[in-house]
Amino acid sequence: MSGRLGRTRRASGRPSPGRAPRAPHRLHPGTARRPRQEGVRSLLGVRTVAGQVLLLQILVAVLLITAAVTGLAFQARYDSERDAQNRSLAAAQSFAEAPGTATALRAADPTAALQESTRKAKEGSGLDFVAVMTPDGVRVADNDPTLIGRRAEQVERAAAGTAFTEIFEGAPNDAARAVVPVIDTSGTIVGLVSAGVSIENVGDAVNRHLPVLLGSAGAALALAVGSSALVSRRLRRQTRGLGPTEMTRMYEHHDAVLHAAREGVLIIGDDGRLTLANDEARRLLELPPDAEGRHVTGLGLDAGTAELLASGRTVTDEVHLAGDRLLAVNTRPTAPYGGASGTVATLRDTTELRAVSGMAEVARERLKLLYEAGGRIGTTLDVVRTAEELSEVTVPRFADFVTVELLDPVLRGEEPAGAHTEMRRTAVSGIHDDHPLQPVGDLIRFAVPTTPMAAALASGHAVLEPDLNVAHGWRAQDPAGADQALAYGIHSLLTVPLQARGVVLGMANFWRAERAERFEEDDLAFAEELAARAAVAIDNARRFTREHAMAVTLQRSLLPRVLPEQGALDIAYRYLPAQAGVGGDWFDVIPLPGARVALVVGDVVGHGLHAAATMGRLRTAVHNFSALDLPPDELLGHLDELVSRIDQEEGADGDGDGITGATCLYAIYDPASGRCSVATAGHFAPVLVRPDGTVDCPEVPVFPPLGLGGLPFETAELDLREGSRLVLYTDGLIEHRHRDLDTGLRVLRDTLAGHPDRTPEETCQAVFRALLPAHRQDDIALLVARTNLLDRARVADWDVPPDPAAVARVRAACGRQLEEWGLDDLGFTTELMLSELITNAIRYGSEPIHVRMLYERCLICEVSDGSSTSPHLRRAATTDEGGRGLFLVSQLAERWGTRYTPTGKVMWTEQSPGTGPQQPMELVLDDVSW
- The Cα 713–Cα 700 span in angstroms is 11
pLDDT, position 599: 95
Query: Hey, which of 2-11, 605-614, 677-686 has the most confident mean pLDDT?
Result: 677-686
Residues sharing a CB contact under 8 Å with residue 273, sequence separation 6 or more, in sequence order:
293, 294, 295, 296
Residues sharing a CB contact under 8 Å with residue 681, sequence separation 6 or more, in sequence order:
636, 639, 640, 663, 664, 665, 703, 704, 705, 706, 713
- pLDDT tens for each residue of 84-135: 778 788 888 888 888 878 878 888 788 887 888 888 877 777 787 888 888 8
- pLDDT tens for each residue of 325-348: 778 888 888 876 656 678 888 888
- The Cα 452–Cα 455 span in angstroms is 5
pLDDT, position 12: 35
Q: Is the separation of the CB atoms in 740 and 755 below 8 Å?
A: no
- pLDDT tens for each residue of 559-601: 676 778 888 899 999 988 776 666 678 889 999 988 899 999 9
Q: What percentage of the chain has pLDDT greater than the value 90?
A: 14
824 burial (CB, 10 Å; 0-12 / 13-18 / 19+) is: exposed
Long-range contacts of 6-9 (CB under 8 A, 24+ apart): 7/41, 8/40, 8/41, 8/44, 8/45, 8/51, 9/44, 9/45, 9/46, 9/47, 9/51
Using pLDDT thresholds of 50, 70 and 90, give the confidence band for residue 918.
very low
- The Cα 601–Cα 652 span in angstroms is 29
Using pLDDT thresholds of 50, 70 and 90, give the confidence band for residue 729.
very high
Region of 267 on the Ramachandran plot (φ > 0 left; ψ -120 to 50 alpha; else beta): beta
pLDDT, position 581: 61
- pLDDT tens for each residue of 11-47: 333 333 333 344 344 333 333 444 444 444 444 455 5
- pLDDT tens for each residue of 872-891: 766 655 555 555 677 778 77
Using pLDDT thresholds of 50, 70 and 90, give the confidence band for residue 928.
very low
59 vs 696, which has greater pLDDT?
696
Using pLDDT thresholds of 50, 70 and 90, give the confidence band for residue 633.
very high
- pLDDT tens for each residue of 225-246: 777 677 767 666 666 666 666 6
Centre a 10 Å sphere on the Cβ of residue 159 and count the other Cβ atoms it contains.
Answer: 17
- pLDDT tens for each residue of 840-861: 888 888 889 999 988 888 888 9
Give, in order, the Cα–Cα distances in Å from 493 to each of 484, 517, 520.
15, 11, 10
Using pLDDT thresholds of 50, 70 and 90, give the confidence band for residue 555.
low
pLDDT, position 643: 86
In 231-370, beta strands by DSSP E: 264-269, 274-277, 315-322, 325-333, 342-349
Residues sharing a CB contact under 8 Å with residue 847, sequence separation 6 or more, in sequence order:
802, 865, 866
Angle, vertex CA 829, rays to CA 824 and CA 833, nearest 5: 130
Q: Over 70: is that where the pLDDT of 252 sits?
A: no
**Mean pLDDT across 737-753:** 89
Smallest Cα–Cα separation from 287: which of 255, 271, 309? 309
Peptide bond into 35 cis (omega under 30): no
Give, in order, the Cα–Cα distances in Å from 648 to each of 442, 619, 659, 831.
53, 20, 10, 51
pLDDT, position 563: 79
pLDDT, position 54: 67
CA 148 to chain centre: 70
Q: Coil, strand or helix: which one is 292?
A: coil
Angle, vertex CA 638, rays to CA 849 and CA 708, nearest 5: 140
Tell me the whole-structure pTM to 2 decimals: 0.50
- pLDDT tens for each residue of 344-387: 888 888 776 555 555 556 667 777 877 787 777 888 878 888 89
- The Cα 647–Cα 162 span in angstroms is 67
φ/ψ of 861, rounded to 5, equals: -115, 135
Q: Is the separation of the CB atoms in 527 and 462 below 8 Å?
A: yes
**3-class SS string, 327-361:** EEEEEEECHHHCCCCEEEEEEEECHHHCCCCHHHH
Q: Over 70: is that where the pLDDT of 727 sits?
A: yes
Q: Over 50: is that where the pLDDT of 3 sits?
A: no
pLDDT, position 660: 60
Q: Coil, strand or helix: which one is 836?
A: helix
pLDDT, position 15: 38
Tell me, what DSSP letter sits at residue 469? G
Using pLDDT thresholds of 50, 70 and 90, give the confidence band for residue 692.
very high
